Each structure stands twice: as C-alpha cells, then as structure tokens.
C-alpha cells in the first residue's frame, strides 16, 4: 500500500486499520491519520450535544372572520444553537479539506501559495529520501524526467493545481523544506514572484509549462532554482 492508497482509505473511513505496515514507516501518513481522527472526534462531540426535542406549536382555531392569529414562534435554546453552529462549522472544515480542489483562486500564484498550507505534514525536516519507485510513480515518464541532482527529495505526492494533476515534491533546503510543483500544463510568459507572511518563492516558466519553488523566508532559493531546472526535463 502506498501513500495515495492509504490516504484514500483513511479519508473514506478514519477508523480504517489496514495498512499498518505502511503507516508505521511513513511519518507523513501518520500525521494525516492523526488529523483525520481528530477531526472525526470533533464532529462526534458536536453531534453528541443534547438538542431539545422540537415541539411544534398547536395551530389556533380559525376566527369567525377567517383571520388566523398565529402563535408566537418558539425560541430555540442555546444548546440547540450551539449544536447546530458546531455541526455547520465542522462540516465546512471537512468540506474544505475533502473538496479543496473545487476552491476557485484569483490567480495561479494564489493557488500555489495556498497549497503550502494544504499538506503541512509534507513540510518537515528529515534526511529520509523517497524511494525511486515512489518518485517514478509521482513524476510519471509521460510528464517529465527528473533525477535526484536537484537535492534531497523527501516527499512526493500527486496533487491538483488549477484542475490538473501535478507532482508535488519537497526538497530539503539549507534552512528547511522547500516545496516544488511541476506544472507541465501551466504556461506563463514570465517568472511570477510568490510571497506571504511565512513563505517566499517563484513560479518559473519552463518550456510549455512552469515550476513553482517555495521555501521559508530565510531560504536562499537561487541555487535550488537552478538545480531543480537542471534536473527536470518535460516529456512533451
């Protein structure tokens, strides 16, 4: 079982107990499983809040002049409102997690920056590289050819950017993890700088596609940019 298969299973059923060998060896999937279990517990607690039984008011009799005087509406108690609010909030969080690919962004740069926070467990410091088999599955031969000369690759996952499946990789930089997105279908006319409170980076035009490189504010990305460009060749 690989990461994609395990996360599909745990996403469908957080209590899934298969793939024990895989999750024991994969820190990223351990973190993913912990997040899903914590979210399930939050939803369970919200749904467990006791809500008063809904009692419908009796309809008054019709007056002689055929005008009906309605009873004053019943006020919903605080526990009921809390339960409904908690359930709606948790459902919204779950929906964003499970359906994040459906969110619309103002620009490719905005979506790329948002993706840094989409998989926080990927941005961890480690000296354990992904296997050649895993890298080959994520960076398929019909997408690109990539070797390890770009740096120590510690994470590889297929993700969705602008509706397209793209390889999401993480390299270990000088000061911390650096996210790489290979986007062969995203042609841009010139380099696009990326910046937010915690991250910096750039989307570089490469042939008919582009590559996004994002690291921490203190990371010196120039050398990483060149090594990544030298290690990637589009297949089409």
Same domain, 132 and 31: no
For residue 67, what pLDDT is reported?
56
Count up the domains in the chain and report the number.
2
199-233 pLDDT, tens per residue?
999 999 998 899 999 999 999 888 889 888 888 88
CATH number, domain containing residue 125? 3.40.1000
CA–chain centroid gap for 28, Å, is 13
pLDDT digits (tens, 9 = 90+) for 31-57: 777 777 777 777 777 666 666 666 666
Instruction: Judge if 138 and 113 occupy the same domain.
Output: yes
Same structural domain, 111 and 224: yes
Is residue 82 domain-shared with residue 114, that is, in the same domain?
no
Q: How confident is the model at residue 192 (pLDDT cuts 50, 70, 90)?
A: very high
Same structural domain, 144 and 228: yes
Whether 114 and 155 map to the same domain: the answer is: yes
pLDDT of residue 64: 54
Helix H, strand E, coil C: the string for the chain is CCHHHHHHHHHHCCCCCCCHHHHHHCHHHHHHHHHHHHHHHHHHHHHCCCCCCCCCCCCCCCCCCCCCCCCCCCCCCHHHHHHHHHHHHHHHHHHHHHCHHHCCCCCHHHHHHHHHHHCHHHCCCCCCCCCHHHHHHHCCCCCEEECHHHCCEEEEEEEEECCEEEEEEEEECCCCEEEEEEECCCCCCCCEEEECCCEEEEEEEECCEEEEEEEECCCCCHHHHHHHHHHEEECC
Percentage of the chain lying above the pLDDT 70 cut: 72
> Are 207 and 112 members of one domain?
yes
Determine the pLDDT at residue 52.
66
- Separation between Cα atoms, residue 44 and residue 152, nearest integer Å: 40
Residues 191 and 88 grouped into a single domain: no
Averaged pLDDT for residues 96-116: 74
Looking at residue 54, what is its pLDDT? 63
The model scores a pTM over 0.75: no
Q: Name the CA dihedral angle for 94, 99, 102, 105, rounded to a multiple of 10 degrees.
A: 50
Residue 135: which region, alpha, beta or left (left: phi > 0; alpha: psi -120 to 50)? alpha
Q: Which residue range(s) make up the domain with 139? A: 105-234
Does 80 fall in a domain? yes
Is residue 32 assigned to a domain? yes
- pLDDT score, position 35: 75
Give the C-alpha separation, 113 to 54, whole Å: 45
Q: Are residues 94 and 109 in the same domain?
A: no
- pLDDT over 60 (residue 102): no
Whether residue 80 is found in the same domain as residue 124: no
**Binning pLDDT at 50, 70 and 90, where does residue 95 land?**
very low
What is the structure's pLDDT at 210? 95
Residue 65 lies in a domain: no
Q: Give the whole-angstrom CA distance, residue 120 versus residue 137.
A: 21
pLDDT for 119-173, tens place per residue? 777 888 999 898 888 888 899 888 888 877 778 999 999 999 998 999 999 999 9
Domain shared by 118 and 163, yes or no: yes
pLDDT at 99 over 60: no
């Amino acid at each position: 079982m690989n990461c994609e298969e395990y996360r599909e299973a745990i996403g469908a059923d957080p209590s899934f107990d298969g793939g024990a060998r895989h999750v024991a060896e994969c820190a990223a999937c351990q973190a993913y499983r912990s997040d899903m279990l914590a979210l399930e517990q939050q939803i369970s607690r919200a749904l467990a809040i006791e809500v008063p039984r809904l009692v419908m008011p009796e309809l008054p009799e019709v007056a002689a002049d055929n005008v009906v005087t309605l009873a004053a509406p019943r006020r919903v108690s605080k526990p009921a409102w809390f339960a409904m609010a908690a359930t709606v909030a948790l459902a919204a969080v779950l929906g964003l997690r499970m359906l994040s690919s459906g969110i619309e962004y103002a620009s490719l740069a905005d979506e790329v920056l948002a993706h840094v926070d989409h998989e926080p467990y990927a941005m961890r410091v480690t000296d354990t590289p992904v296997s050649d088999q895993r890298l080959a599955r994520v960076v398929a031969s019909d997408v690109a050819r990539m070797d390890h000369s770009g740096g120590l690759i510690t994470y590889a996952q297929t993700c969705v950017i602008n509706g397209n499946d793209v390889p999401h990789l993480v390299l270990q930089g000088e000061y911390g993890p650096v996210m790489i997105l290979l986007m062969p279908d995203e042609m841009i006319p010139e380099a696009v700088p990326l910046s937010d409170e915690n991250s910096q980076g750039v989307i570089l035009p490469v042939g008919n596609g582009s590559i996004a490189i994002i690291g921490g504010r203190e990371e010196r990305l120039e050398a990483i940019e060149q090594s990544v460009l030298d290690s990637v060749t589009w297949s089409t």
